Structure 1
Amino acid sequence: MEGPGGAVGLNPALEPVMEALHHLLAGGEVEVRVTRRGHPRLVQELRQRVDDATREVNELQRVAGCTLSTTV
């Protein structure tokens, strides 16, 4: 989300990604194609954040002894 107060919206470049995600979550099938690669170090950092968060939630579930979930 971006924009000034009262005019916040989704970055237009993300609209097709969100549309594809909605179809995937609704049982559809999607195809993704990167048309221009991002900054390699930033891409790796973002990938690492996903890996770290996944590892951490799995550890929390192991310690808690139950499944933890968050919905946004």
Structure 2
Amino acid sequence: MSGYADIHGPSAVNVTLASGLGAYLMRVQELGAVEGAEGSLAVNPVLEPVLKALHHVLAGGEVEVHLLRRGNPDIVAELDHRATQATQEANTLNKAAGVSLTATV
């Protein structure tokens, strides 16, 4: 495992994000990516198979995705636009500053 886990328990960290990525993540949260009260938040169970598939891809696996029912086209377009904009913003800031402002969507 990489050095991201602290064996002494949870702690807060500061992560610099491009504002577009922060806005994208907040919008995803507003749309229900996580649910529950503070202190007992959990990933929306509907997203569990998507996250599991993502983890397999990141670990070198291959997945296949089938849309069973399309979502609201306006929200899909909004999220696609936010993701593209966040990626462009992060790349622009990284080039200008010579640092990584975590990353792309």
Q: 3-state SS of the aligned residue for 1:27?
A: coil
TM-aligned CA deviation for residue 62 of structure 1: 1.4
User: What is the 5 A alignment of 1:33-72?
Assistant: 33-64=66-97, 66-70=98-102
TM-aligned CA deviation for residue 67 of structure 1: 4.8
Alignment correspondent of 2:3: none
Compute the TM-score of the two structures, normalised by the length of structure 2: 0.60
Q: Which runs of 5+ in 1 are unaligned?
A: none
Moved more, 22-31 or 6-15: 6-15
Q: Which amino acid aligns with 1:61?
A: N
2: CA distance, partners of 1:63 / 1:6: 38
User: What is the 5 A alignment of 1:3-14?
Assistant: 3-14=36-47
Aligned length: 70
Larger helix proportion of the pair = 1
Compute the TM-score of the two structures, normalised by the length of structure 1: 0.85
Percent identical: 51
Distance 1:63 1:20, change over 3 A: same
Q: 3-state SS of the aligned residue for 1:38?
A: coil
Are 2:93 and 2:101, in contact at CA under 8 Å, matched by a contact in 1?
Answer: no
TM-aligned CA deviation for residue 8 of structure 1: 2.0
Is the counterpart of residue 18 in structure 1 residue 51 in structure 2?
Answer: yes
Runs of 4+ in 1 over 6 A off after TM superposition: none
TM-aligned CA deviation for residue 41 of structure 1: 0.6
Q: Relative contact order: is structure 1 or structure 2 higher (C-alpha 8 Å, sep ≥ 6)?
A: 2
Q: Which runs of 5+ in 2 are unaligned?
A: 1-33
